[in-house]
Structure 1
Amino acid sequence: MSFRSALLVAGIVLAGLNLRPAIAGVSPLLDEIMTDVGLSPAGAGGISTVMVICLGVFGPLAPLLARRIGLDRTLLAGLLLLALGVVLRVLDGAPVLYVGSAVAATAIAVMNVIMPAIVKQHFPHRLNLLTGVYSSAIVGGAAGASALVIPLENATGHDWRGVSALMAVPALAAALLWLPQVFGRQVLPPQGPRPIRAVLRSRVTWQVTAWMGLQSATFYIMLTWLPKIFLDAGLPAGQAGYLLGLTTLVQVAATLGVPVVAGRRASQVPYVMAAGVLTGLGYLGVLVAPTTVPWLWMIVLGIGQGASFALALLIIALRPADPAAVTALSAVAQSLGYVIAALGPLLFGYLGQVSGGWSVPLAAGLGVVGAQLVTGWFAGRPATLGKANL
């Protein structure tokens, strides 16, 4: 591998590492944030809901920016905006908390959409491998954030605001690493008919979108509420945070290996089904026995959710014929999918509040996993979203 290619891979990996800490790092600190800011459980769930809504609403900005300034410059802008949002949300008051979260999530939305296209543009012949590498970086960032925020609080003596502000540092580091790509020649999509309008006419788009939304909903529910569930079950805060870190760490292995294997086959249905079943078993374990071998439930859940996430990114990259169409499909699937997913943490928290426990919301979560399996069967079937059927 040449130095230029190695620098590209390093930039993609570091950018991927920044796509989840701003979201995953909130969950272990949720009790502290609720006390400090004065939020109800539903209001605390609203932090993740605001962020996931922004992931959906602002994703369509990505194709517009990519057409005007190119994919590489769009990624740089996203990293800088992410750093700004992370710093903004730790200022005093609930409104600023929500606004800063929205700014950070808007940046993540844009980067989420363009990352599959960046991989297809720079590494078209290593798509499976690089999809696994950067999706592993994404969940690795989530694992690190969820596992380390409490130890960082203890080690530095900072409260949740100081620790959260530190998440701007890796975003700025990634921006510096990506600068060489920005000063190079920018590859702009063709300025013909907008691909995003074309992909809306394909049934493949809607199949992928429905599955993307449901698998994201099951992921963000657990990302937001898992530590709280374990805390209420009697586990200490540190252990609850480590358990969330464990499930996201297990996702790293799943996301690294699954795309390499699944991408070699025309159909991804067997992998999609297996991932959904494992996710459901993880939910069931937390529902039935949250303090009995919780590490086992987290491993099972991590394999299922990590595989689902990696398969979603792989399918988005595989179905279209070129990077412009990848960006368009990614914008539709991730934007509308995250709008669906945004309801998950909010409704989960509301059900927990009105029922006085976590059994009812976890049972509802199992129902969402069932719907994920149904839509995943359609999304995983062989199809090509190319120029002929756009």
Structure 2
Amino acid sequence: MSLRSALLLAGVVLAALNLRPAIAGVSPLLDEIMRDVGLSPAAGGAITTVMVVCLGVFGPVTPLLARRLGLDRTLFAGLLVIAAGVVLRGLGGVPMLYLGSALAATAIAVMNVSMPAIVKQHFPTRVNLLTGVYVAAVVGGAASASALVIPLEHGTGFGWRGVSALLAVPALLAALIWLPQAARKQQEVQSGPRPFGQVLRSRVTWYVTALMGLQSLTFYVMLAWLPTIFIEAGLPADQAGYLLSLTNLVQVVTSLAVPVLAGRRPSQVPYVVGAGVLTVFGYLGMLLAPTTVPWFWMIVLGIGQGASFALALLIIALRPADPTAVTALSAVAQSVGYVVAALGPLAFGFLRQVSGGWSVPLLAGLAVVVVQLGAGWLAGRPATLG
């Protein structure tokens, strides 16, 4: 492997590692943040909600930026804006907290949409392998942030503001590694609305969008509520936290392996359906026997969720014929998908409140996964978009 190829691969991995810490790093520090700036629980929870909404709302600007700047420079700019956002949210009171969070999430939205197209552009013969690598890095970044922010806070004595600023370091490091690529002459990108027009008229787009949105909804519901479900079932709080970490770590391995296998076949239907079935079993375990081998249910759920996320992004990269169309499909699928996902934790909490338990929310989650299975069946069939 040449030095340029090694730097390109390292840049992709490091950029992907920065796509979740700004979001996942909020939850462990949330109690301290609320006390420090005087937020209610609802206002504290709104920090994550605002960021997930930004993932959906600002994704569609990516094709415009890619036409103006090129994909590589768009990714470079996104890394710098993430660094600015995580620093900004620790500099003042409530307005800076929300503004910095929204700024970082906007950059993540643009990078989310860019990554499948960058993989298609730079690694056209290894889309399945590189999709697995970068998705594993995304999931690994989320798991690392959740696990390390508290030890970092205790080890440095910086408090939540300093720890938030430290999240800028990996973003700046990734930008430094990506700088030679951004400085190169950018590949010409087609102009005009044709790629978006093609994508919006295709049924494949809406199958992929449904798969992306529904699997994202399941992920964010579990991220928000899984420890609480186990605590209310009778498990200690620390064990409930370990179970969330376990299911996230399992997703790292699954995200790396599944695209390599699924990308070799013209149809991804068996893999998408298998991932959905495993997610159903994870839900059933939490519903029927949450305190009986909970670690087993979390492994099953992690395999299902990790595979579903990786397959959704793999299909986005495989279906279009060129990077321009990949960017357009990615913008539609991820923008709509994350708006749908942002509603999940709120709806889950509302169902818990009105029903007085977790049976109704978990049954609703099962229904969502069943619909996801249908969308995955349609999205996973062989097709070429554009």
TM-score where L is the length of structure 2: 0.94
Alignment pair present for 1:328 and 2:328: yes
Determine the C-alpha separation between the residues in 1 that align with 2:9 and 2:250: 22
Question: Which residue of the partner structure matches residue 143 of structure 1?
Answer: 143
Decide whether the 8 Å contact of 1:42 with 1:353 is kept in 2: no
* CA-CA distance at 1:207 after TM superposition: 0.9
Overall identity of the aligned pairs, in %? 78
Residues 12-38 of structure 1: per-residue CA shift (max 9 Å, x gap): 000000001112222333444445455
Aligned length: 386
Decide whether the 8 Å contact of 1:150 with 1:241 is kept in 2: no
TM-score where L is the length of structure 1: 0.93
Decide whether the 8 Å contact of 1:119 with 1:127 is kept in 2: yes
Alignment pair present for 1:127 and 2:131: no
Give the partner amino acid of 1:259: P
Matches within 5 A, 1:214-363: 214-233=214-233, 235-363=235-363
Compared with structure 1, are the counterparts of its residues 168 and 33 closer, same or farther at alpha carbon in structure 2 (3 Å cutoff)? same
Determine the C-alpha separation between the residues in 2 that align with 1:373 and 1:30: 34
Decide whether the 8 Å contact of 1:28 with 1:240 is kept in 2: no
* CA-CA distance at 1:285 after TM superposition: 2.3
Residues 342-381 of structure 1: per-residue CA shift (max 9 Å, x gap): 1112222333344444343233222211221121111111
Determine the C-alpha separation between the residues in 2 that align with 1:232 and 1:34: 23
Determine the C-alpha separation between the residues in 1 that align with 2:236 and 2:359: 20
Determine the C-alpha separation between the residues in 1 that align with 2:227 and 2:239: 9
Question: Which residue of the partner structure matches residue 161 of structure 2?
Answer: 161
Determine the C-alpha separation between the residues in 1 that align with 2:20 and 2:371: 25
Unaligned runs of at least 5 residues, structure 1: none
Determine the C-alpha separation between the residues in 2 that align with 1:348 and 1:87: 31
Question: Which residue of the partner structure matches residue 3 of structure 2?
Answer: 3
Question: Which residue of the partner structure matches residue 87 of structure 1?
Answer: 87
Determine the C-alpha separation between the residues in 2 that align with 1:209 and 1:369: 14
Compared with structure 1, are the counterparts of its residues 99 and 358 closer, same or farther at alpha carbon in structure 2 (3 Å cutoff)? farther
* CA-CA distance at 1:179 after TM superposition: 0.4
Q: Secondary structure of 1:381's partner? A: coil
Decide whether the 8 Å contact of 1:80 with 1:172 is kept in 2: yes
Compared with structure 1, are the counterparts of its residues 364 and 159 closer, same or farther at alpha carbon in structure 2 (3 Å cutoff)? farther
Q: Secondary structure of 1:125's partner? A: coil
Give the partner amino acid of 2:89: R
Determine the C-alpha separation between the residues in 1 that align with 2:145 and 2:361: 25
Determine the C-alpha separation between the residues in 2 that align with 1:350 and 1:21: 27
- RMSD (CA atoms): 2.0
Give the partner amino acid of 1:250: V
* CA-CA distance at 1:230 after TM superposition: 3.8
Question: Which residue of the partner structure matches residue 105 of structure 1?
Answer: 105
Alignment pair present for 1:374 and 2:374: yes
After the TM superposition, which of the residue ranges 273-282 and 65-74 deviates more from structure 2?
A: 273-282
Q: Secondary structure of 2:385's partner? A: coil
